[in-house]
Amino acid sequence: MVMQEMTTRRAFVARSLAAAGAATLAGSPALEALAQHGIPQRPIPSTGEMLPVIGLGSSKVVEQIAQNGTEPVANVLRALVAHGGKLVDTWPRNPANDAGLGRVLALPELRGKLFVTTKVDQVGKEVGERQFRDSLRNYQLDTIDLVQIFSLTDLDTHWASLKEWKAEGAARYIGVTVSQDSRHADLEQFLRREKPDFVQMNYSITERAVEERLLPFAADRGVAVVINRPFMNGAYFDRLEGKALPEWAREFGCETWAHFSLKYILANPSLTCVLTETSNPKHMEDNVLTAAGPMPSEAQRQRMRDFIATV
């Protein structure tokens, strides 16, 4: 649940949408596609349950509850749900902020409409158990949709616990995350001996280490793949500051640099859902519209890779 959206992204999107005439205006192909078909969905391999391809990484906006209250996270989740999304990815922070998120999840317009995840990120069985039970209590849930071991932390200990929680019905799905390329070999070894429901990994137009091997391997193993860091925690926008979007990108509906990376990711059939992190409902809407619009072909994706290597 990384992929933090920085000020540079807000500035980029605001300027680009203004220049493009705003992608969400009536008559845009993406908006028409969303109205007709809804946000695209892909199956969770272990059950066949369908999951919308855009979700919310809520780390930053949940951390800001203490300063900004619960309305920002409530508004961005309303925007996600209004456009057909449902996955909200989070992990335990502190009791006050987590309880604030729980109040939002319990709102009548949101309760039962979200696919809620959490993580275990501490060492030790008892500590992990306490983290999970605290999440259930703070989020006001009897069952959490997806429980993950963050960055393979104390993997063997917590994996046994996750299987127990799933068996008792406290977790619907279980999985693991990686956030560093150095852990890819460990993740592959884990996937060879176990079959989690989900795995989460970094992937973007500028961060493609999982593209050739790990991403298709997970898909071949029948594991749902959640993608984080589509904008490299904002570093992507820093890198492209002042650079003009190539005209040919508009052939597949790109009007902003945010679209450029998201469309590159979403065109890959091996993944299940992409987490985009924002506290701005308009950005959440724009992310969903990106998924509803046209996607680049493989030849266009190669052109995207070639282009990004030059900037």
Token duo for residue 4:
């933090």
Q: What's CA 216's distance to the chain center, in Å?
A: 18
Q: Name which residue leads in pLDDT, 14 or 127.
A: 127
Q: What is the predicted pLDDT for the residue at 304? A: 97
- What percent of the chain has pLDDT above 70? 88
Backbone φ and ψ for 181, nearest 5 degrees, come out as: -60, -30
Give me 227's structure tokens. 């993608």
pLDDT tens-digit map of 157-191: 999 999 999 999 999 999 999 988 999 999 999 99
Which of 34-43, 79-88, 97-106, 154-163 is predicted with the least confidence, judged by mean pLDDT? 34-43
**pLDDT beyond 90 at 60:** no
Q: Taking all residues of the chain, what is their mean pLDDT, rounded to a whole number?
A: 89
Tell me: the pLDDT tens digits for 214-254?
A: 999 999 999 999 999 998 877 888 889 889 999 999 999 99
In this predicted model, what pLDDT tens digit does every residue of 90-117 receive, in sequence order? Answer: 988 899 999 999 999 999 999 999 999 9
pLDDT band at 10 (very low <50, low <70, confident <90, very high): very low
DSSP state of 90: -
Q: For the chain, which domains are there?
A: 7-308 (3.20.20.100)
What pairing do the DSSP bridges indicate for beta strands 171-177 and 54-57? unpaired
Amino acid 31: pLDDT = 59
Q: Is the pTM of this model over 0.85?
A: yes
**CA-CA distances (angstroms) from residue 176 to 146, 200, 227?**
10, 6, 12
